């Protein structure tokens, strides 16, 4: 049996960001093979697919990627890669997947079990890449299960909910085109800066005035760039931002209202606006039957409130039934800091809890 804490801390020292996770994928694949799993490398890039037994069975999933930020934990096993940090606990998820794999290999269930180690969760592209490379054609999946460490909950506490649990993420760019010029001659211009500022303010009405108050939605403007200079009124402004909700219907309402507001406000300033949207994450929706099965099998709080974060395991759950669970990472200290905080510390005491949860779910068939 692998020392899972040592395995996790080795991944932590050597974080890999995005879709390029060769070292992490090799470590997982090698350990799975040593435990007796049939491993396919290179699925959708550096993705790992592994099977125990043949035929249909449940799929357990872990994400393997780190964040492009600098660690500030001061830990003895801190990242040795400048500007890369396992600040979302994916090193822990990978170790727990391996632990479950070893437990299942030691006492195999009567049906097949499949494992998915995916890159690029943070970008929202890793699961889709593996699906596009035939994940569901390569293995027959009955249900899919995944978990994520969860700061603020007691170490090892499990929670989930039936239905939508995590948000979709929709990214927009609004480009405002006007007529720029000398800062002393506003009467000869159509000021894209002023139009853009008015659009930012008007976008605050989109959720408040067009979404059903019973639905959750949030729209945040996160970037504002101009081609102006000290004495130059800009001709062009690019406004970027992020909108979230739990359904395609909310997404469509927010898109339509934002377009109407941006184009209308721009026109009122003599400018033109174009609006482009790109959906990076779909909503994560847990299957009610799967949540009921998990609640029966595990000590689990099935009333986890919905959260506004996004998670690309949602692409898997959009195709097969299953559920995503949160695993408590502590209520105080660095384990309770928000995910993605430079000081966040994954709590190794959660590992055995995660292993038991994944193993138990895999045995449900």
**Active site members:** 65, 121
Binding mask 180-219 for Zn ion (x = CB under 5 A): ----------------------------------------
Nearest approach in angstroms of CB 149 to Zn ion is: 8
* Residue 66 contacts Zn ion per CB under 5 A: no
Closest CA to 18 of 129, 121, 89: 121
Q: In the set 28, 60, 88, 203, which binds Zn ion (CB under 5 A)?
A: 88
CA distance 176 to 173: 10
Question: Given the rule CB under 5 A, which of 84-92, 267-275, 279-287, 348-356 is the region that contacts Zn ion?
Answer: 84-92
86-94, 138-146, 245-253, 354-362 -> range binding Zn ion (CB under 5 A): 86-94
Nearer to Zn ion, 88 or 129 (CB): 88
Least distance (Å) between residue 120 CB and Zn ion: 11
Q: Residue 228 or 309: which CB sits closer to Zn ion?
A: 309
Which residues 6+ apart lie within 8 Å of 181 measured at CB?
188, 189, 232, 233
User: CB-wise, 270 or 309, nearer to Zn ion?
Assistant: 309
Total residues contacting Zn ion (rule CB under 5 A)?
1
Closest by CA position to 67, among listed 111, 31, 21: 21
CA torsion sign for 228, 234, 235, 238 is: positive
CB–CB of 257/206 below 8 Å? yes
Cα angle: 351, vertex 246, 211; to 5 degrees: 150
Taking every pair of Cα atoms in the chain, the longest distance, rounded to a whole number of angstroms, is 79
Rounded distance between C-alpha atoms, residue 354 and residue 336, angstroms: 17
In the complex, minimum distance from the CB of residue 348 to Zn ion, in angstroms, rounded to a whole number: 17
Q: Identify which of 60, 52, 29, 40 has the alpha carbon closest to the alpha carbon of residue 325.
A: 60
Q: Which stretch binds Zn ion (CB under 5 A): 2-10, 69-77, 85-93, 263-271?
A: 85-93
Which region among 53-61, 88-96, 190-198, 222-230 touches Zn ion (by CB under 5 A)?
Answer: 88-96
Nearest residue (CB) to Zn ion, 37 versus 313: 313
Rama region for 56: left / alpha / beta (φ>0; ψ in -120 to 50; rest): beta
CB nearer to Zn ion: give 118 or 263.
118
Q: Is 97 in the site for Zn ion (CB under 5 A)?
A: no
Distance in angstroms (rounded) separating the CA atoms of residues 258 and 114: 42
Q: Determine, following the binding rule CB under 5 A, whether residue 167 of this chain makes contact with Zn ion.
A: no
Return residues touching Zn ion (CB under 5 A). Answer: 88
């Amino acid at each position: 049996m692998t020392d899972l804490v040592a395995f996790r801390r080795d991944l932590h020292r050597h974080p890999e960001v995005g879709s390029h996770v060769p070292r992490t994928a090799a470590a997982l694949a090698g350990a799975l093979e040593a435990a007796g799993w049939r491993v396919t490398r290179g699925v959708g890039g550096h993705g790992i697919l592994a099977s125990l037994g043949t035929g249909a069975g449940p799929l357990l999933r872990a994400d393997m990627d780190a964040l492009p930020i600098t660690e500030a934990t001061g830990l003895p096993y801190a990242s040795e890669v400048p500007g890369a940090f396992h600040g979302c606990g994916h090193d822990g998820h990978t170790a727990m997947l391996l632990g479950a794999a070893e437990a299942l290999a030691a006492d195999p269930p009567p049906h097949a079990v499949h494992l998915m180690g995916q890159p690029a969760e943070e970008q929202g592209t890793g699961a889709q890449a593996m699906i596009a490379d035939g994940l569901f054609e390569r293995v027959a999946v009955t249900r899919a299960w995944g978990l994520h460490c969860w700061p603020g909950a007691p170490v090892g506490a499990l929670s989930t909910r039936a239905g939508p649990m995590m948000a979709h993420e929709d990214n927009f760019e609004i480009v405002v085109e006007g007529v720029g010029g000398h800062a002393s001659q506003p009467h000869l211009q159509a000021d894209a800066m002023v139009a853009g500022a008015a659009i930012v303010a008007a976008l605050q009405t989109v959720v408040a005035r067009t979404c059903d108050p019973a639905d959750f939605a949030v729209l945040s403007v996160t970037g504002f760039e101009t081609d102006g200079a000290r004495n130059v009124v800009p001709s062009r402004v690019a406004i970027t931002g992020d909108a979230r909700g739990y359904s395609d219907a909310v997404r469509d309402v927010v898109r339509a209202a934002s377009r109407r507001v941006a184009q209308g406000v721009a026109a009122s300033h003599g400018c033109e606006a174009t609006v482009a949207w790109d959906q990076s994450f779909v909503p994560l929706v847990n299957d009610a039957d799967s949540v009921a099965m998990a609640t029966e099998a595990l000590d689990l709080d099935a009333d986890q409130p919905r959260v506004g974060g996004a998670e690309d395991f949602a692409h898997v759950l959009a195709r097969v039934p299953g559920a995503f669970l949160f695993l408590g990472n502590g209520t105080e200290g660095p384990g309770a800091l928000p995910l993605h905080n430079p000081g966040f510390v994954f709590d190794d005491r959660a590992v055995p809890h995660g292993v038991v949860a994944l193993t138990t779910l895999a045995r449900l068939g």
